[in-house]
Structure 1
């Protein structure tokens, strides 16, 4: 028998179920990433409305600090959603995650500002960011697990890649909506009410994601594992049996998450405030780069099903070790063409890692604890390094006065991930456990 089988022995799944799982997982993840990132892309206006200061940099830094706060709710979200996902099923956990995120985002769009209620405004913003962080902790791990477990034989890489296609698409849609919103409203209208529109849209799209997920069946791998025996405590089992794999998952995510949140959330602010790039060039180049990323991820995921995950992961993580400083130097030239070239280089390097990334991470863990263990490794790393990336980068520039110094952050993080991938086995031909 061939060793290239790429699925557990599970009940047969129809083409319709495969497509429904792909759509439900991807749309829900896109929505949650949009909700999470529309905050970061609105950093400048939120800083003025919730953290007024004579120094604009202080307001932006405060806004990114609150963005980071949301990530500190991820450990609790990981535990709660991991327990639900591994005990009761992937579907109920993912439905609950979408509902909580949609409500929190819509409520941000309804918040009174500092001028209306004073210091209570940023306090309420922090609380809602915590709910967003709690919800998104259950989304990524559950989406990755569901996509990989629903994948047909030999297609875990490309199916898993749609977790990242939808993540990048969430970044893209958030950037596009915020850019369009800024074009439609004048500066005065934006500060008065226009800033609320992207957040209120997040609440509407949540309803669509819920409808898609309500009719979704459980994954064949979960059903088979559930029938094999009683489920006890997935979290306890994960810590008892999967500590090494969870640590690998944590380190695997370090460079990945810093690259995402440094280049896709902090970079637009950096280009405007430090490199002096025209805001229109920043917005359009960011959309181009994110568009290239979104399209390229699935291609690299498909490629990983043919040549393996590891070599692509090494190229992607090693690429950021090598390219971070040169790319930031390109941006520092101030030329529009250099900005576009830099954005595309970042997109292709990140896609090379993001394509095979979800499948490689999911393949580290057995089905019985995959949601919990994957979530612990991934979300704790994102909490520590992803949510703080923009804040740390802003602090590096403020402390050193040397904008180029921020390149050390993605380069160092990528080195951690590169060394971790070196220790991981190739898994694309191995069946799910």
Structure 2
């Protein structure tokens, strides 16, 4: 059994690595307006912004491939071997993006190189998103899996707020002209340093006993076949379950800042601060809702979160499009209240649907596919809806539709709170005893 000291060191190491990894990935969304200026023709600003969001979305379609590759290696070679590789790859791609020539210098080669860097980030996050959470859930004490995953999710989302504050500091410190000219590169280069720090921290960790014991017990040699054949239903559920938390999360992380500036007409500083504040609140709520998910179950939180998304999406965008700081803050808070239970309960439920021996492979493929379909396209679809319908409220109806769709998916989801990690099945006898004792 993992000792408490070792367990705490593991969650700290995985979470700090998350901080650097997700900082790099989220930086692209906060830098979208300035990237559109430098990597696409300036003659059509709307096309340039849509092109930037298309590049943003491409990373999500690289995630399933990264999930397949690194998930397979994570189940075969161990969690830490993969987590050190993914954080190093992410840091290298982010550094490279900060050094790229612009469209004005090399023409169409500039967006091509940006796509290459973004695809590398997608491959990295495809392995990271499953590997780190699998590592955390397998290290967690009994009865605290959702709380621990919630803490890891907190450190994964906090970089988005930190990126916003850093971008604002660099922008204010050197002035708008210098930032747009060359200062936008500084946060990307800092991301490379964070990647190196994450690599060093993770090299000092080891695999949890839950994984090493399962690796000894498993009879199958091919985690991909083992994950796919008997787990098709689980993989489909995980893919579809990601719809709500992926859409609402990436509307906040990859779209809202640009929306507030270009559509609502809010100043850069106010937009950055309001968005960073909303994301920080979202991140800090994850451990709270994780603890609640351990207490009442995953399904009640998912049902309430998806239903809330369907209800608040329209008023959220109505407020955010008002052009006022108060409206921007209140609108984003409404989205945060819907996202927090969906993420906190959804992440742990997705992981619990797969047995330990194939958790990385099964979860990585299906979760990253869901993120590609729903999350990566969310900013692009939202921007296209605003342009196509000529209304700042158009993305709200997409949020409503996703909330209703996800609610229906959750209805067929099993409650996984009392699942055994080793074989991903319900502890029926134990649950019956608990219910009898409570009765």
Q: Which moved more, 1:261-270 or 1:224-233?
A: 224-233
Residue 193 of structure 1 aligns to a residue whose secondary structure is: helix
The question of 1:331 aligning with 2:320 is answered yes
Q: How does 1:54-93 map to 2 (within 5 A)?
A: 54-93=43-82
Q: How does 1:265-276 map to 2 (within 5 A)?
A: 265-276=254-265
The question of 1:26 aligning with 2:15 is answered yes
Partner of 2:209: 220
Residue 255 of structure 2 aligns to a residue whose secondary structure is: helix
Distance in structure 2 (CA, Å) of the matches to 1:242 and 1:33: 29
TM-score (norm 2): 0.93
Q: Which moved more, 1:67-76 or 1:378-387?
A: 67-76
Q: Deviations over 1:376-397 (max 9, x none)?
A: 1110011112111111111111
Change (3 A) 1:330 1:188: closer
Q: Deviations over 1:21-74 (max 9, x none)?
A: 111211222222111110111011111111132232222111111111122211
Partner of 2:133: 144
Change (3 A) 1:229 1:402: closer
Distance in structure 2 (CA, Å) of the matches to 1:229 and 1:296: 37
Distance in structure 1 (CA, Å) of the matches to 2:287 and 2:90: 26
Q: CA contact under 8 A between 2:351 and 2:359: conserved in structure 1?
A: yes
Displacement after TM superposition at 1:127 (Å): 0.8
- Number of aligned pairs? 422
Partner of 2:387: 398
**Aligned structure 1 segments of 4 or more residues deviating by more than 4 angstroms:** none
The question of 1:190 aligning with 2:169 is answered no
Distance in structure 1 (CA, Å) of the matches to 2:203 and 2:150: 23
Find the partner of 1:15 among 4, 27, 39: 4
Distance in structure 1 (CA, Å) of the matches to 2:218 and 2:327: 58
Residue 409 of structure 1 aligns to a residue whose secondary structure is: helix
Q: Deviations over 1:233-254 (max 9, x none)?
A: 1111111110000000001001
Q: CA contact under 8 A between 1:158 and 1:356: conserved in structure 2?
A: no
Q: CA contact under 8 A between 1:292 and 1:348: conserved in structure 2?
A: no
RMSD of aligned alpha carbons: 1.4
Distance in structure 2 (CA, Å) of the matches to 1:264 and 1:39: 10
Q: Deviations over 1:192-228 (max 9, x none)?
A: 3201111001110111111111111111211111121
Q: CA contact under 8 A between 2:318 and 2:331: conserved in structure 1?
A: no
The question of 1:125 aligning with 2:123 is answered no
TM-score (norm 1): 0.94
Partner of 2:429: none
Partner of 1:241: 230
Displacement after TM superposition at 1:336 (Å): 2.1
Structure 2: give runs of 5+ residues left out of the alignment: 424-439
Displacement after TM superposition at 1:167 (Å): 2.2
Distance in structure 2 (CA, Å) of the matches to 1:417 and 1:307: 20
Residue 187 of structure 2 aligns to a residue whose secondary structure is: helix
Q: How does 1:311-330 map to 2 (within 5 A)?
A: 311-330=300-319
Displacement after TM superposition at 1:303 (Å): 1.3
Find the partner of 2:36 among 47, 52, 55: 47
Displacement after TM superposition at 1:296 (Å): 0.9
Find the partner of 1:373 among 362, 369, 372: 362
Residue 183 of structure 1 aligns to a residue whose secondary structure is: helix
Displacement after TM superposition at 1:413 (Å): 1.7
Change (3 A) 1:179 1:304: same
The question of 1:97 aligning with 2:110 is answered no
Q: Which moved more, 1:207-216 or 1:100-109?
A: 207-216
Structure 1: give runs of 5+ residues left out of the alignment: 1-11
Q: Deviations over 1:47-104 (max 9, x none)?
A: 1111132232222111111111122211221111011001111111111111111101
Q: Deviations over 1:367-412 (max 9, x none)?
A: 1111011111110011112111111111111111122111122221
